[in-house]
């Protein structure tokens, strides 16, 4: 597979190498805010059918790149593919999100979990990666991803989305050894899954720890950070003669930035609750930083969006190591032109912070 990239701005910034401007992409950039995505999903018949069809997953991955001068594509998939492949029965309820037919409620349930064969049971994911890489033809790099062990476990134990995480937090307090074993299962399967994506052509990886921020500091380290660190140790970190950078993103993770920076990751994703300049001072030159515009800011006028982008660029300051992104995924009601205003502002305003570089 060719490693020739016409635009390697993202990969350079993730490794804190000089760039001509700050690269930009968006979490959920291929998604419901785009009418062309909604049309493809309608054609597919359901989200799951869309996700499991490599040609359609390729199509929607590329859609935002046709609209916007983005510096990366991100694989179109879902974080819950692994629990589904473990036999828990993923389905979606309109207005309620993902659900599982079976849940993990005991040590016996944990021990009964299989380790999925990625190319067999989840083969549609690496196949989508291969097709996307071919279709991109070196235009921009492709980001692969997974949910974190803790985040996947929350859905597996709760049976779906949760407001208070009572079941899994109860397990963390009452039966932590069973939860440790569940983490062991997930570390192994996520490592297999991400390495399959890298072998298929993913050029950077993001681990989404969506729910790490609900934990106590002690439980965060045990059930979120430590399992993610083990995944990092298992990953292929060089492919096609290039380093494969890894971004760790814990929503609500600002209390633990220094600890996250010590995991061996290349970059930290930031939500909108921390000032990016302060985060840069805290982690120094250990890692790059990604973020961190509040997704709700995209409800504002394009002029206000440009001001908000300018504030974040200014707060980070001069030099490489910043990847502009939202602090979480773009929400469905956002007008595409507002996303475009954000991206355009990064393209226009960021070169002044990279003068003499790139």
204-243 pLDDT, tens digit per residue, is 999 999 999 999 999 999 999 999 999 999 999 999 999 9
Please tell me the least confidently modeled range out of 39-43, 89-93, 284-288. 89-93
For residue 207, count CB atoms less than 10 angstroms from its CB and return exposed for 0-12, middle for 13-18, buried for 19 or more: buried
43 is in an annotated binding site: no
Contact 143, 206 (CB under 8 A): yes
Contact 351, 20 (CB under 8 A): yes
Q: Tokens for 54? A: 């490599």
32 is in an annotated binding site: yes
For the domain spanning 9-354, the CATH number is: 3.20.20.210
316 is in an annotated binding site: no
Band of the pLDDT at 358, cuts 50, 70, 90?
low
Entry field: residues in the chain: 358
DSSP code string of 172-193: HHH-HHHHHHHHHHHHHHHHHH
354 is in an annotated binding site: no
Q: Tokens for 221? A: 């380290």
Q: pLDDT tens across 333-357, in order?
A: 999 999 999 999 999 999 999 987 5
Predicted pLDDT of residue 23? 98
Bridge partners of residue 325, in order along the sequence? 292
Closest CA to 277 of 213, 353, 348, 344: 353
Bridge partners of residue 242, in order along the sequence? 239
Closest CA to 218 of 264, 259, 157: 259
Residues with a known catalytic role = 28, 32, 41, 78, 155
Give the helix, strand, coil percentages of the chain, each rounded to 5. 50, 15, 35
- SS3 state of residue 193: helix
Within 56-141, strands assigned E span 73-74, 90-93, 97-100
Residue with tokens 């989840």, as numbered in its chain? 122
Please tell me the least confidently modeled range out of 30-39, 95-104, 202-211. 95-104
List all residues 6 or more positions away from 242 whose beta carbon is below 8 Å from its beta carbon.
3, 11, 203
- SS3 state of residue 257: helix
Band of the pLDDT at 4, cuts 50, 70, 90?
confident
Q: Tokens for 174? A: 């009452």
Q: pLDDT tens across 129-188, in order?
A: 999 999 999 999 999 999 999 999 999 999 999 999 999 999 999 999 999 999 999 999
Contact 327, 296 (CB under 8 A): no
d(CA 244, CA 123) in angstroms, rounded, equals 21
Contact 177, 217 (CB under 8 A): no
pLDDT at 3 over 60: no
Distance from the first to the final alpha carbon of the chain: 26
d(CA 10, CA 215) in angstroms, rounded, equals 31
Predicted pLDDT of residue 18? 97
For β-strands 246-250 and 204-209, DSSP reports them as parallel
To which H or E segment does residue 267 belong?
Answer: strand 267-269
List all residues 6 or more positions away from 117 whose beta carbon is below 8 Å from its beta carbon.
none
317 is in an annotated binding site: no
Closest CA to 129 of 50, 70, 197: 197
Predicted pLDDT of residue 357? 57
Closest CA to 272 of 299, 300, 247, 252: 252
Q: What residues does each domain of the chain span?
A: 9-354
């Amino acid at each position: 597979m060719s490693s020739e990239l016409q635009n390697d701005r993202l990969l350079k910034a993730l490794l804190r190498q000089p760039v001509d401007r700050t690269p930009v992409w968006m979490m959920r950039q291929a998604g419901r805010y785009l009418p062309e995505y909604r049309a493809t999903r309608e054609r597919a018949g359901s989200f799951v059918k869309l996700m499991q069809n490599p040609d359609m997953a390729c199509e929607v991955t590329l859609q935002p790149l046709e609209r916007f001068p983005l510096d990366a594509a991100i694989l179109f998939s879902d974080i819950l593919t692994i629990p589904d492949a473990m036999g828990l029965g993923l389905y979606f309820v309109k207005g309620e999100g993902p659900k599982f037919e079976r849940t993990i409620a005991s040590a016996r349930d944990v021990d009964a979990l299989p380790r999925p064969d990625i190319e067999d049971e989840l083969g549609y994911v690496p196949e989508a990666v291969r097709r996307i890489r071919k279709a991109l033809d070196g235009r921009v790099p492709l980001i692969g991803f997974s949910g974190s062990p803790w985040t996947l476990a929350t859905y597996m134990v709760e049976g779906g989305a949760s407001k208070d995480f009572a079941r899994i937090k109860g397990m963390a307090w009452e039966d932590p050894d069973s939860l440790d074993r569940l983490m062991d299962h997930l570390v192994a399967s996520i490592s297999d899954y991400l390495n399959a994506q890298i072998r298929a052509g993913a050029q950077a990886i993001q681990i989404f720890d969506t729910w790490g921020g609900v934990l106590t500091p002690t439980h965060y380290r045990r059930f979120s950070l430590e399992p993610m660190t083990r995944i990092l140790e298992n990953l292929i970190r060089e492919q096609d003669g290039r380093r494969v950078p890894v971004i760790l993103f814990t929503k609500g993770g600002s209390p633990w930035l220094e600890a996250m920076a010590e995991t061996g990751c290349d970059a930290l994703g930031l939500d909108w609750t921390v000032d990016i300049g302060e985060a840069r001072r805290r982690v120094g030159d250990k890692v790059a930083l990604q973020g961190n515009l509040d997704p709700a800011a995209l409800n504002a006028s394009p002029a206000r969006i440009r001001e908000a982008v300018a504030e974040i660029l200014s707060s980070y300051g001069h030099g490489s190591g910043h990847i502009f992104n939202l602090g979480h995924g773009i929400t469905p009601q956002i007008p595409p032109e507002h996303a475009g205003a954000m991206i355009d502002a990064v393209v226009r305003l960021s070169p002044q912070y990279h003068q003499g570089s790139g």
